[in-house]
A = this chain, B = another copy of it.
Amino acid sequence: MTTLTMAGAINAGLRAAMERDDKVTLMGEDIGKLGGVFRVTDGLHADFGDDRVMDSPLAESGIVGTAIGMAMAGFRPVIEIQFDGFIFPAYNQITTQLAKMHYRSRGDIQLPVVIRVPYAGGIGAIEHHSESPEALFAHTPGLRIVSPANPQDAFDLMQQSIACPDPVMFFEPKARYWDKGEVDTARVAAQLDGATGPANATAEMGKARVARQGSDVTLVAYGPTVRLALQAAEVAAEDGTNVEVIDLRSISPMDSDAVVKSAKRTGRVVITHEASTAFGVGAELSARVTEQAFFHLHAPVLRVGGFSTPYPGATFEHEFLPNIDRVLDAVDRVMKH
């Protein structure tokens, strides 16, 4: 066990994967000497050199497109998109190529590409630097999508994502980069050893985690909102409401079974994410939970997300984002039934 920030844990996860497999190659804007604008790749260029840590031309479609080509030739590219809001030039490559190549080739071509995306808000940034676009990828079959909420998951999921034969979008909650936590650096290495390592890793990647046990309400979060959910649970506990917090960890696949199981016990579900509520990940989860646990529910599933506006100026972000008041309000509302 060592103490790491989330940024440090991702860095360590990348390093471990690069040491394990020399086909693992990083590419992105400013990830070399600068170590990325968040310093997540700090030191990797110095240690692995130009051919393993490649600063790219300023073109996201080019980054994803060439990573696809490299993956076809046997590499395992891990690419960085500098900020959430700048992933869209690569949207065509991700949606029509990366996601569909395995299907198109009837299994002949695997594309083990990992796309790292620092995402979500809360850092007082200017436009395009605080967005949560995960739902815009979740609707496209062929992609896996994960988002860690703590250093341990960041470390594990990073190596599992790299070992996974399918493309993985790895959403890193940037406001949590500096959160510290204990990290066991040995477990995943052991998991990945042996022939079924990637399969086990991939299966594990898709599982949710009960972050806090409770019996009254199931509060579902992922990435940046997990900390918020845990805080809300603490406050609710003071009022005598016992909140179970589930950290989804994965958005594709989404472990709705874990949520349904919990919902069947609590009868009440609240989902919170930073992305706009409308047409977000919470919509799918709400629909599935309702489909599968309808007769166990005491109240409708509620969602607490960003509003249906573009991400506003930073001065508004505390109110734009789900905050503790809004989460508790939703908890109160489901508890009314």
Residues of A within 8 A of B (CB): 85, 88-89, 91-92, 95-96, 99-100, 103-104, 127-128, 135-136, 138-142, 275-276, 278-284, 286-287, 290-292, 294, 297, 299-303, 308-310
B302 contacts A291, CB within 8 Å?
Answer: yes
A310 contacts B103, CB within 8 Å?
Answer: yes
Q: What are 14 A-B contacts with C-beta separation under 8 Å?
A: A85-B96, A88-B95, A91-B92, A100-B310, A139-B275, A139-B276, A141-B278, A141-B308, A141-B309, A279-B284, A286-B290, A286-B291, A287-B287, A287-B290
For residue A136, which residues in chain B have a CB less than 8 angstroms away from its CB?
Answer: 95, 136, 139-140
For residue A138, which residues in chain B have a CB less than 8 angstroms away from its CB?
Answer: 278-279
B310 contacts A142, CB within 8 Å?
Answer: yes
A96 contacts B128, CB within 8 Å?
Answer: yes
Nearest CB in chain B: distance from A251 CB, A: 9
Distance A89 CA – B278 CA, assembled complex (angstroms): 24
For residue A297, which residues in chain B have a CB less than 8 angstroms away from its CB?
Answer: 294
B104 contacts A96, CB within 8 Å?
Answer: no
B141 contacts A276, CB within 8 Å?
Answer: yes
Nearest CB in chain B: distance from A98 CB, A: 11
Contacts A139-B275, A279-B139 given; does A294 touch B287 at CB 8 Å: no
Contacts A279-B135, A287-B286 given; does A299 touch B294 at CB 8 Å: yes
Distance A282 CA – B294 CA, assembled complex (angstroms): 17
For residue A302, which residues in chain B have a CB less than 8 angstroms away from its CB?
Answer: 291
Distance A291 CA – B275 CA, assembled complex (angstroms): 19
Nearest CB in chain B: distance from A76 CB, A: 23
Closest to A302 in B: B291
Nearest CB in chain B: distance from A68 CB, A: 14
Distance A6 CA – B100 CA, assembled complex (angstroms): 31
Most buried by B among A100, A140, A275, A301: A140
B85 contacts A88, CB within 8 Å?
Answer: no
Distance A287 CA – B141 CA, assembled complex (angstroms): 21
Closest to A94 in B: B88
Closest to A307 in B: B141
B278 contacts A139, CB within 8 Å?
Answer: yes
For residue A96, which residues in chain B have a CB less than 8 angstroms away from its CB?
Answer: 85, 88, 128
A89 contacts B92, CB within 8 Å?
Answer: yes
Contact residue among B95, B127, B281 (Cβ-Cβ distance under 8 Å from A279): B281
Nearest CB in chain B: distance from A183 CB, A: 32
Q: Given known contacts A286-B290, A292-B300, what 7 new A-B pairs fall within 8 Å (CB)?
A: A95-B136, A136-B139, A138-B279, A139-B278, A286-B287, A287-B290, A294-B297
